[in-house]
Amino acid sequence: MVFGTVTDTSENGIEIRAESDGTAITLRVTETEAAVEPGGVVQVYGTLEPNQTIAGERVEVVNSSRWAEFYKYGASAIGALGFLLLFFRYWRINRDTWTLEARDG
């Protein structure tokens, strides 16, 4: 299993850049039909073959593009903001005792 960033795509497969402990390696993944563009992140299950090639048994797209990461963090921020708004709608901070109290009615 390898995680990597897609650097090139073609009919023959994809090329990924994987890093481990500060060392980067470029691998060619064959036998894949994953729809991903350069910059996307994939998780590859397969068999390592000669010439830095992986025969991909299964390729999962983690981020299909560079914008997927922005979407992920944006959706998380909106969810956190919604939670905080609802939380403080029903609870308040008592500044005398610095405790949380349920709001009245």
Q: What is the pLDDT averaged over residues 68-85? A: 93
Which pTM value belongs to this model? Answer: 0.58
**Which has the higher per-residue pLDDT, 66 or 85?**
85
Continuous segment of H or E residues that includes residue 2: strand 2-10
Tens-place pLDDT, residues 32-66:
877 788 888 889 999 989 988 899 888 888 876 67
**Which has the higher per-residue pLDDT, 90 or 12?**
90
Q: Is 105 exposed, middle or buried (0-12, 13-18, 19+ CB in 10 A)?
A: exposed
Report the pLDDT value the prediction gives residue 105, as an integer from 0 to 100: 66
- In the CATH hierarchy, which fold is given to the domain comprising 2-63? OB fold (Dihydrolipoamide Acetyltransferase, E2P) (2.40.50)
Count how many residues are written for the chain.
Answer: 105
**Domains of the chain, residue spans:** 2-63, 67-96
Report the pLDDT value the prediction gives residue 81, as an integer from 0 to 100: 98
State the Cα angle at 76 between 33 and 18, rounded to 5°.
Answer: 40
Tens-place pLDDT, residues 4-32:
999 998 888 899 999 888 899 999 998 88
For residue 14, count other CB atoms closer than 10 A to its CB: 25
